Structure 1
Amino acid sequence: METVIAFIIIFGSLVFFHELGHFLFAKKAGIMVREFAIGFGPKILALRKNETLYTIRLLPLGGYVRMAGDDFDTVELQPGYRVGVILNNEDVVEKIYLNREVSNPNVLFIETEKADLSKALFIEGYDEDGNLVKYNVSRNAIVYEKGQETIIAPYDRQFDSKPLGSRAMAIFAGPLFNFILAFFIFLAIGLLHGIPTNEPIISEVISDSPAYSAGMEPGDFIKEVDGVPVKTWTEFTDIVKSSGSEKIQLKVERGGDLVTFAVTPNTVVNEAGEKVGQIGVMYDPPLEKNPMKAFAFGAEQTYTWTKRIFELLGMLVTGKFTIEALSGPVGIYKATEEVAQFGVFSLMNWAAVLSINLGIMNLLPLPALDGGRLLFFLFEGLRGKPVDKQKEGMVHFVGIMLLMVLMLVVTWNDIQRFFF
């Protein structure tokens, strides 16, 4: 049960901040946001505030921000369509009923001749006495149809009306907020848990390893490798890895004395398929709490993991990783279960890495993803005019179908990996 709660909190937080980025920058650009949703499928909870409906939906596998004009949601009244309207004190339409039967006695029925609920904001048609009438429509008019309420979106509040830069930023802000969230999680870890000092102090020596055979012990403070001074654990491991199987001289401080060891590393193959040296020592650095260093730690970790995930993507493209190595929701759940055993700070670190991963995945130039939409904006900038909406919509639809197939394949791989 604890794993379920941890998974929901982590995944829900990542989706929330991703969609919050879209939401805030859409609002900043003046775009009407019709719905801010966490999850997909049927609504579990719903709250309307002003022009936006905030919902939590049944399937916790993502979320979305529905912007006016971004999904062909504008209301169009065709000639001959019979609608009911309610006027305010200035004879401006503030409510429009598309239902054939309306019980409200204040409703005036019109057989539409012409109407524009986007730019000119008017309805013209024939009333019940056969007279041609024309009414202006309020910018905040509400359309009622089959029990649903929709606020009309004047063109200047629609996504497509905004400059290219504002539209691109509203889309890019989602992944951007995932990187920002990761930074703040790493920052919180640094402030609350502490930052590894990165001092080259051995915490454990693995038995039957080259270091063990050479006589090295926990607590040894590495001072030099082959006569080269080292100040951090990272510097030390980089030299050992690059040495391959060549013998190296280690000078360590032990009990105030300097001791020298000759060690011949074993060679192992890392994730990138490269042969690297390894001497069999473990690192568990002391921690320090320093606000300034915590800030730097947050930035460094965000950069390091971003770089690492891009490297893994490159390995996937070059075939060093196969699709079987990918994980979907089931794999993430199982990984969360394992990470949770190591405590809350390990979960926080895992959440930060997942947030970066979500940001990067959404920036990939694939249809239906944020990166795919940004790619169309790039084409628009180069061409000087937008790509046809119908064609773009078809590309994104095909992309969604392919992503669903990929998700099913990855999920099936996870099920086989963990349950069979």
Structure 2
Amino acid sequence: MSLINLVYYNIIPFILVLSLLVFVHELGHYLVARWNGVKVEVFSIGFGAELFGWTDRVGTRWKISIIPMGGYVKMFSDLNPASQPDQTLIQEMSEKDKEVSLFHKTVWQRIAVSAAGPLANYLFAIFLFGTLYIFMGQKIPSEETKIGHIMPKSAAEQVGLQEGDLILDINGITTGTFVELQKIIQENPGHEIDLHVQREEQKMMIRATPQAIKVRDHEIGRLGITPSYHEVKRSPLTAYFYAVEDVHTFSAKTLAHLGQMIVGNQSTDGLSGPLGIANLTGEVARKSLVDLIWLTALLSINLGLINLFPVPMLDGGHLLFYFIEAIRGKAVSEKVQEAGYRIGFSLVMLLVVISTWNDLSHLKVFEFFKNIFN
């Protein structure tokens, strides 16, 4: 893929989707902050130097910044985009300044402001899902063993399996459900298996070798296929209830998956960073607008969920400090908060390094440079 195609088909769709989700997230913070009488100094999409912007009648600077990898709202009394309190400014504030300062609002008002960003992402995902369920239909996993999607560069793609293929049996063992199919695949890491496949009216035998994925102290096989879905349209009265249910299910599964990674029962290979998400966004955008909306909703859930993690620098870290303050009756000390921000920054950077390494490996960037110098 040429550089121009890479930018047009992958980078631009990714930036547009990310910017939309960041705008929704920060708008949640902004609206609840203004509702509670807090002065918002900056509303930025992106970080770094300002490309262009304007100042509204209440003094908020709305701007687009040069690094399109996130965004922030800076409240009055904040030291930085991470909403760390500016202790020097706070000590010099007049009584009038304190009325519009986030730091001087009640702990429950500050909790509301911090929670509003993730909540906005969740509400946006529910809106997108519900609207799709009304006009396009809710995707319900099929019980039959029909392939819905082939993962790029997977073992399934390498042997020519296609979306819509119906797998009748593996090694002569009939597979009645997709769960049974996956169980047999996982039990054969690195071992050839014979797939009896029906493609439209044609039946064929395809030999494949599931990729060996290390999970803790053992390996499982992965073919790189997902089940097919059928779509069921919902009424406007029920669509958003189904959307809430699916958002909850997706969040619970994501947390369970991350928990398995933390305890070492699953590999971190599945973590994707900006490069991997950009590549996926480009592939989905080329497929259809509807699929891009699906992906946008899923990414909105992920953004909201990640920001609720109790890690300083994230909204969940602020919420942790605020809930401790609500219980103790006094704020967490400045030294503890400073240490927390440092730990939080280190954890976020570690996550970025791991996910970026995974992206580079999956995109075979290392092999590309190795081939150049060999």
TM-score (normalizing by structure 2): 0.70
Separation (CA, whole Å) in 1 of partners of 2:61 and 2:127: 28
* Matching residue's letter, 1:296: F
1:189 is aligned to 132
Kindly indicate whether the alpha-carbon contact (under 8 Å) linking 2:9 and 2:286 is maintained by their aligned counterparts in 1: no
Question: Cα RMSD over matched residues?
Answer: 3.8
Which aligned pairs between 1:231-270 and structure 2 lie closer than 5 A?
none
Q: CA deviation at 1:59?
A: 0.8
State yes or no: 1:41 paired with 2:1: no
Confirm or deny: 8 A CA contact 1:205 1:281 kept in the other structure. no
Identify the match of residue 102 of structure 2 among 152, 159, 171.
159
Task: Name the amino acid aligned to 2:260.
Answer: M
* 399-408 vs 356-365, greater mean Cα deviation: 399-408
Residue of structure 2 in register with 1:172 after alignment? 115
1:206 aligns with 2:151: no
The separation in 2 between residues aligned to 1:301 and 1:281, in whole angstroms, is: 18
Q: How does 1:112-131 map to 2 (within 5 A)?
A: 117-119=93-95
How much does 1:275 deviate?
9.1
**Structure 2 residue 74 is the aligned partner of structure 1 residue 66:** yes
Question: How far apart, CA to CA, are the structure 2 residues paired with 1:26 and 1:337?
Answer: 35
Distance across 1 between alignment mates of 2:39 and 2:235: 43
Aligned with 2:255 (options 278, 300, 310): 310
Normalising by structure 1, we get a TM-score of: 0.63
Of Structure 1 and Structure 2, the greater strand share is in 1
Q: Does structure 2 conserve the Cα–Cα contact (< 8 Å) formed by 1:376 and 1:387? A: yes
Q: In 1, distance between residues paired with 2:167 and 2:15?
A: 40
1:2 corresponds in structure 2 to 9
2-side partners of 1:284 and 1:33: how far apart?
A: 45
Deviations 1:140-199 (A, max 9, x none): xxxxxxxxxxxxxx1121112111111011001111111111111111221232234667
Comparing 19-28 with 402-411, greater Cα deviation is found at: 402-411
Q: Return the alpha-carbon distance in structure 1 between the equivalents of residues 180 and 354 of structure 2.
A: 41
| Map 1:6-405 → 2, pairs under 5 A | 6-49=13-56, 50-71=58-79, 72-73=85-86, 117-119=93-95, 154-196=97-139, 206=166, 209=169, 283-288=228-233, 290-405=235-350
Which residue does 2:194 correspond to in 1?
A: none
| Secondary structure of residue in 1 paired with 2:272 | coil
- Report the CA distance shift for 1:208/1:38 in structure 2 as closer, same or farther (over 3 A): same
Cα distance between partner residues in 1 of 2:317 and 2:89: 29
In the superposition, relative to structure 1, how do residues 210 and 302 fare at CA in structure 2: closer, same or farther (>3 Å)?
same
- Partners of 2:308 and 2:358 lie apart in 1 by 24
Residues 331-372 of structure 1 deviation map (CA, whole Å, 9 limit, x = unaligned): 111121222243111111111111111111111111211111
Change (3 A) 1:397 1:284: closer
Q: Is the 8 A contact 1:75 1:117 kept in 2?
A: no
Secondary structure, in 3 states, of the residue corresponding to 1:182?
Answer: helix
Q: CA deviation at 1:290?
A: 3.0
User: What is the Cα deviation at residue 73 of structure 1?
Assistant: 4.9
Describe the SS at the equivalent of 1:366: coil
What SS is found at the alignment partner of 2:68?
strand
Task: Quote the Cα distance in structure 1 between the aligned partners of 2:316 and 2:134.
Answer: 33
CA distance in 2, matches of 1:76, 1:210: 68
Verify the 8 A CA contact 1:26 1:33 in the aligned structure 2. Answer: yes
Structure 2's unaligned 5+ residue stretches are 1-7, 80-84, 147-163, 186-210, 367-374
**Structure 1 residue aligned with 2:372:** none
CA distance in 1, matches of 2:135, 2:172: 35
Q: Could you tell me whether the CA contact under 8 Å between 2:44 and 2:64 is conserved in 1?
A: yes
Q: Distance in 1 between matches of 2:239 and 2:255?
A: 24
Whole-Å separation in 2 of the counterparts to 1:289 and 1:337: 29
Shift of 1:283: 3.8
Distance 1:395 1:196, change over 3 A: closer
**Does the Cα contact within 8 Å between 2:141 and 2:228 map onto a contact in 1?**
no
Q: Is 1:410 paired with 2:355?
A: yes
Q: Which amino acid aligns with 2:20?
A: S
Q: Distance in 2 between matches of 1:290 and 1:390?
A: 54
Q: 1:3 to 1:391 in 2, by over 3 A?
A: same
DSSP-derived class of the 1:365 partner: coil
Q: CA deviation at 1:209?
A: 1.8
Residue type of the alignment partner of 2:74 = R
Q: Tell me the CA shift for residue 53 of structure 1.
A: 0.8
Q: Note closer, same or farther for the CA distance 1:242–1:391 as it changes in structure 2 (3 Å cut).
A: closer
Q: In 2, are the aligned partners of 1:171 and 1:370 still within 8 Å (CA)? A: yes
More helix by share: 2
Alpha-carbon offset, residue 241 of structure 1 = 7.9
**Percent identity of equivalent pairs:** 30
* Structure 1 CA distance for aligned equivalents of residues 337 and 282 of structure 2: 40
- Which amino acid is the alignment partner of residue 27 of structure 1? R
* CA shift digits 1:102-159 (9 cap, x unpaired): xxxxxxxxxxxxx96422xxxxxxxxxxxxxxxxxxx5xxxxxxxxxxxxxx112111
Deviates more, 1:6-15 or 1:288-297: 288-297
